[in-house]
Amino acid sequence: MPSSDALQVTRDGDTLVFSGALSREAIASAWTRALAQVAGVRRFSLDAVPSVDSAGLALLAELAARAGGGITVVGTPRGLDELRSAYRLDSTLAFATA
Please state the pTM of the whole predicted model: 0.91
pLDDT at residue 5 in the model: 60
Position 2 pLDDT exceeds 90? no
Position 38 pLDDT exceeds 50? yes
Task: Domain 8-86: give its CATH code.
Answer: 3.30.750.24
Parse the chain into domains and list their residue ranges: 8-86
Q: What percent of the chain has pLDDT over 70?
A: 94
- Predicted confidence band of residue 19 (pLDDT cuts 50, 70, 90): very high
Averaged pLDDT of the chain: 92
Within 1-98, residue ranges assigned H as helices are: 24-37, 54-66, 80-86
Position 98 pLDDT exceeds 70? no
From residue 97, give the alpha-carbon distance in Å to each of 24, 50, 56, 64, 88: 27, 29, 22, 16, 9
When pLDDT is averaged across residues 67-84 and rounded to a whole number, the result is 96
